[in-house]
Amino acid sequence: MSKNGNKKKTVLIIVSKRLDFGGGERVASAMAEELILTSDFYPILCTLKDVDPHQVESRRFPVMALNNKKELVLSNFIKLFWIILKYRIKVVHAHGHHAAFYAFLPAFLLRVKKRIWHFHAVPGENLKKFHLFFKLLFKLSTDIVACSKAVAQALLEEFNAPASKLRVIYNGLANLSAPPVGKPQHNKYNFQPCLGMVARIDGQKGHDDMLAALRLLREKHPKIGVVFRGDGEYAGILKEKIKAQGLTAAVCFAEKVEPDQLGPLYTSFDIFVLPSLMEAGPISILEAMYFSVPVVATAVGGVEEMVDNQVDGLLVPPRQPKMLAEAITKLINDQNLYKQIQSNALEKVKRFTMKNTVSELKQIYAGA
């Protein structure tokens, strides 16, 4: 019997960043929310970063925070030993390489039967020099999960991941609020049309290409604008570029919203744009589809597994702002295509649910 007071097996879900940092962290948190509804497993959510109190208040399971400052490495190991022992953890599910680094050694020494390393992105080029580190963690893991075929292929080819342990499980949407019927009567951003981009603000998400495409679009559509939602170290530089390019009136930064309040944000958009240079399996594309916002994205990584070009979205090559602008223009001018993509995308997104994701994960957990 687990420490939670019933016969459920306890699963430690550990993430490297803040719970609201990016898609992977949001997915891990949603996994825990879905898992608590099952009859077989009880989740404990752990992050290496601090936790905002409001992120804990409504949870039906424990949420814990470690600290990954270099001077506290030993302390983190000790804390995880204590958590695994106290809660009689049967499954350790690590999201990110830092999480795996801290969790897998205590889990291995304490004979936790399932040690799962979950990849929501392809590790960066700068991590290839740590091949021995990856080799050790691959050996300590019992299972490796990639969120797309593109990520799985990269792990095999670039990091020599053991194929026998590797499987693909697509990320799914949690129980979002029901999509509103029709568009809101008032678009608070006052752009006509309104483009939206929900992504972490860094050099890989294509914000610069979005600005370049926006300049081209405004030649024929002077009232068009884009709303950015996201945080990141590149935000200050991006705002300077917006000012330097004379686009201040055409760009807004949306305030942070909780996952269950995404509806009003997405339905303010006429078109969702994600011009990333690399992607694993962006949850924001699924959210846009769910809220009936047609998607224009770059054909990179796992995006091509989520979007069928000309069917439920439009895809263009990365680093091609002119082609990006042309695809957006196509949706603006062709309302039949716009509505067809809306309908097809809404049907497509039904395949990507958190219930389906957790159902596949439970097949791995069952071996605990």
pLDDT digits (tens, 9 = 90+) for 237-287: 999 999 999 999 999 999 888 777 788 899 999 999 999 999 999 999 999
Tokens of 202: 């860094």
The tens digit of pLDDT for each residue in 20-50 reads 656 678 889 899 999 998 889 999 999 887 6
What confidence tens digit (pLDDT) does each residue in 98-138 have?
A: 899 999 999 999 999 999 999 999 888 777 778 889 999 99
Q: What predicted TM-score, i.e. pTM, was given to this entire model?
A: 0.91
Beta-bridge partner residues of 271: 195
User: What tokens were used for 247?
Assistant: 């686009």
Q: Greater confidence, 57 or 214?
A: 214
Domains and CATH numbers, the chain: 9-172+353-365 (3.40.50.2000), 194-351 (3.40.50.2000)
- In this structure, the number of other CB atoms found within 10 A of the CB of residue 268 comes to 21
Q: Hey, what amino acid is at 75?
A: S
**In which element (H, E) is residue 337 found?**
helix 335-348
